[in-house]
């Protein structure tokens, strides 16, 4: 499967599991020695062999296979263990024949994956990535837990560099691909929104012949993604808020506790928050139809959906906390600000923001833009982080009360002291800023 060379042991050795985590290794296991910026699986090979906690190893540098500790082991040498893992997963995927949907996009992909899984699993034995295991390690290991009982599968594909989505798509080999949107994410590595769109469009590289791309008609760079699909000879199905799209609602509404829409005369709702989740529901509607499911068949599981932690969760402590701390970029920040404005109207509104990461040279410009938008729609703007000054620069002179904090704890103390019963506070920042600590403080 992986194109490696068997250095020691028998090719007939039977294996019962595969892992790259030495803590999960057990007798019968194949241990793949992956290497990253902060880890090297090769350093665990000797101890696993001595303790009998792995029966086979895939390596990209040759150990001393003549040593007695490898007496009962099989050792396979490859040029690149990460590529070997991908090849094994891709070959394993061909052993089964579920109908597969793959989801990518700058924002919304985890929510769409979870919504779609909820909808499909009421009708099919359905597989999915756990949590957000959507990268070049998580996706192969998710594929390797497929079994013959699975009738459907939903895979989330993530990236921050060009080429990654293509490699992941070729592993999962989807029948249906969904691009939720393309926006200003990972610009540090991709350079422009146009390049982000091209990277998202790589999802078509693994699509089965006759496959379909489901595409957000209202997304930036829609034409780039549409053109890539047409050149590949794929069927294209679009979703959006108006009749330009193939899949659009006759009406929709957003409240503090739910998003609701009417699609093909069927009312569908989910306990989600914000305008971005109207798009996420439409993406699920469009995809579920390709599995032969009518809106009325997926409405019940969507109505009982449990939102993913940190993604626009609404917490009522007298004052309202919008926990949008899972990640942040300009596209998701615009949606978050617009949603608070639309839903909470005349209430006193506070934005507690930290850095949007991986924006490269354009970072100051985007932080100023979001600062200006927040100041135009909120009463108070509280900022923390390396880009706090850029938020303030964009917000200055717009009549909004501004506060910059050197420490996150100082922001928490200020908010707890000043929040009143009728206030709404939006808490948002990139994952690495750990703004959930603010939410935890305000929720106590």
In this structure, is residue 192 part of a structural domain? yes
pLDDT at residue 309 tops 80: no
What is the rounded CA–CA span in Å between residue 376 and residue 163? 39
Look at residue 87 and tell me if it is in a domain.
no
Q: What is the pLDDT of residues 385-409, one digit of tens each?
A: 999 999 999 999 999 999 999 999 9
Phi, psi of 319 (to 5 degrees): -80, 160
Give the confidence band of 310 by pLDDT, cuts at 50, 70, 90. Answer: low
The pTM for the full model equals 0.93
Same domain, 150 and 197: yes
- In sign, the C-alpha dihedral spanning 157, 162, 164, 166 is positive
Same structural domain, 288 and 140: yes
Classify residue 210 as exposed, middle or buried by CB count within 10 Å of its CB (0-12, 13-18, 19+): exposed
CATH number of 63's domain? 3.40.1390.10
For residues 213 and 204, is the Cβ–Cβ distance under 8 A?
yes
| Domain final residue, candidates 280, 303, 326 | 303
419 occurs within a structural domain? yes
List CB contacts of 37: < 8 A, sequence separation 6 or more.
none
- Do 256 and 232 lie in a common domain? yes
CB 304 within 8 A of CB 406: no
Give dist(CA 54, CA 249) in Å, integer. 53
* pLDDT for position 39: 87
CATH of the domain at 258: 3.40.1190.10
**Token pair of 69 as six digits:** 């500790």
* 71 has pLDDT over 90: no
Distance of CA 311 to the CA centre of its chain: 11
Contact 266, 295 (CB under 8 A): yes
Percent of the chain that is helix, strand, coil (3-state, to 5) = 40, 20, 40
Query: Is residue 266 helix, strand or coil?
Result: strand
Backbone φ and ψ of 437, nearest 5° = -65, -35
Q: Are 63 and 140 part of one and the same domain?
A: no
Rounded to an integer, the average pLDDT of 104-115 is: 95
- Domain interval for residue 388: 313-443
Q: Is residue 89 part of a domain?
A: no
pLDDT the model gives residue 312: 80
Tokens of 104: 């990518």
- Per the prediction, the chain carries an average pLDDT of 95
Do 375 and 348 have their domain in common? yes
42 has pLDDT over 70: yes
Helix ranges restricted to H, 201-354: 222-231, 276-290, 295-303, 330-344
Contacts of 303 (CB under 8 A, 6+ apart): 268, 269, 270, 271
- The last residue of a domain, from among 303, 322, 353: 303
The rounded percent of the chain whose pLDDT value lies above 70 is 100
Whole-number pLDDT of residue 255: 94
- Residue 408 and residue 437: Cα distance in Å, rounded? 8
Residue 358 domain-assigned (yes or no): yes
Looking at the structure, tell me whether residues 318 and 297 fall in a common domain.
Answer: no
40 within some domain:
yes
The count of domains in the chain is 3
Residues 6+ apart with CB under 8 A from 148: 96
Distance CA 59, CA 73 (A): 13
Same domain, 48 and 141: no
Record the tokens describing residue 38, joined without a space. Answer: 């902060």
Q: How many CB atoms lie within 10 A of CB 77?
A: 19
Domain-embedded: residue 91? no
What distance in Å separates the CA atoms of residue 403 and residue 383, rounded to the nearest whole number?
A: 6
Same structural domain, 275 and 198: yes
Residue 411 · residue 352 · CB < 8 Å = yes
Instruction: Give the model's pLDDT for residue 134.
Output: 94
CB 187 within 8 A of CB 362: yes
Residues 130 and 275 grouped into a single domain: yes
My answer on whether 166 and 273 are in the same domain is yes
CATH code for the domain of 439: 3.90.190.20
Of 148, 198, 208, the closest CA to residue 172 belongs to: 208
Asked if 238 and 215 touch (Cβ cutoff 8 Å), the reply is yes
DSSP string over 52-88: T--SEEEESS---TTSGGGTT-EEEE-S-HHHHHHHH
Q: How confident is the model at residue 68 (pLDDT cuts 50, 70, 90)?
A: confident
In-domain check, residue 323 = yes
Q: What is the pLDDT of residues 319-334, one digit of tens each?
A: 999 999 988 999 999 9
Given 303, 336, 371, which residue is the final one in a domain?
303
**Contact assessment for residue 384 and residue 408, using Cβ atoms and an 8 Å cutoff:** yes
**Based on the domain organization, do 321 and 400 belong to the same domain?**
yes
Q: Which two tokens stand for residue 308?
A: 């993913």
User: Do 284 and 349 fall into the same domain?
Assistant: no
For the segment 211-261, what is each residue's pLDDT rounded down to a tens digit?
999 999 999 999 999 999 999 999 999 999 999 999 999 999 999 999 999
């Amino acid at each position: 499967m992986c194109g490696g060379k068997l250095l020691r042991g028998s090719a007939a050795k039977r294996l019962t599991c595969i892992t790259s985590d030495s803590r999960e290794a057990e007798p019968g296991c194949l241990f793949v020695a992956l290497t990253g910026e902060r880890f090297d699986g090769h350093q665990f090979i000797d101890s696993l062999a001595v303790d009998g906690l792995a029966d086979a190893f895939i390596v990209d540098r040759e150990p001393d296979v003549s040593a007695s500790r490898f007496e009962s082991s099989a050792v396979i040498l490859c040029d690149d263990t990460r590529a070997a893992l991908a090849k094994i997963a891709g070959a394993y995927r061909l052993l089964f024949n579920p109908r597969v949907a793959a989801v990518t996009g700058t924002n919304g992909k985890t929510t769409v994956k979870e919504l779609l899984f909820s909808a499909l699993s009421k009708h099919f034995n359905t597989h999915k990535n756990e949590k957000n295991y959507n990268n070049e390690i998580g996706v192969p290991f998710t594929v390797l837990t497929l079994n013959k009982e699975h009738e459907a599968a939903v895979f989330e594909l993530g990236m921050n560099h060009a080429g990654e989505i293509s490699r992941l798509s070729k592993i999962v080999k989807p029948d249906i691909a969904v691009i939720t949107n393309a926006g200003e994410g990972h610009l540090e590595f991709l350079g422009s929104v146009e390049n982000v769109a091209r990277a998202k469009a790589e999802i078509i590289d693994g699509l089965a012949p006759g496959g379909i791309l489901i595409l957000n008609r209202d997304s930036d760079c829609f034409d780039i993604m549409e053109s890539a699909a047409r050149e590949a000879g794929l069927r294209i199905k679009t979703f959006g808020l108006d009749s330009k799209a193939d899949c659009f609602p006759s009406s929709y509404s957003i409240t503090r506790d739910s998003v609701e829409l009417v699609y093909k005369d069927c009312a569908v709702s989910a306990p989600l928050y914000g305008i971005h989740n109207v798009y996420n529901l439409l993406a699920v509607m469009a995809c579920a139809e390709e599995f032969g499911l009518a809106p009325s068949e997926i409405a019940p599981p969507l109505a009982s959906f449990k939102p993913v932690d940190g993604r626009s969760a609404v917490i009522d402590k007298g004052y309202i906390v919008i926990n949008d701390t899972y990640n942040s970029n300009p596209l998701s920040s615009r949606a978050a600000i617009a949603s608070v404005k639309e839903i909470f109207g005349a209430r006193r509104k506070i934005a507690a923001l930290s850095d949007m990461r991986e924006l490269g040279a354009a970072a100051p410009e985007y932080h100023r833009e979001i600062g200006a938008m927040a100041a135009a729609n909120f009463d108070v703007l509280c900022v923390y982080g390396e880009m706090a000054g850029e938020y303030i620069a964009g917000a200055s002179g717009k009549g909004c009360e501004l506060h910059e904090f050197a420490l996150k704890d100082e922001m928490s103390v200020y908010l707890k002291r000043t929040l009143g019963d009728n206030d709404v506070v939006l808490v948002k920042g990139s994952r690495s800023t750990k703004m959930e600590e603010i939410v935890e403080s305000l929720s106590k």
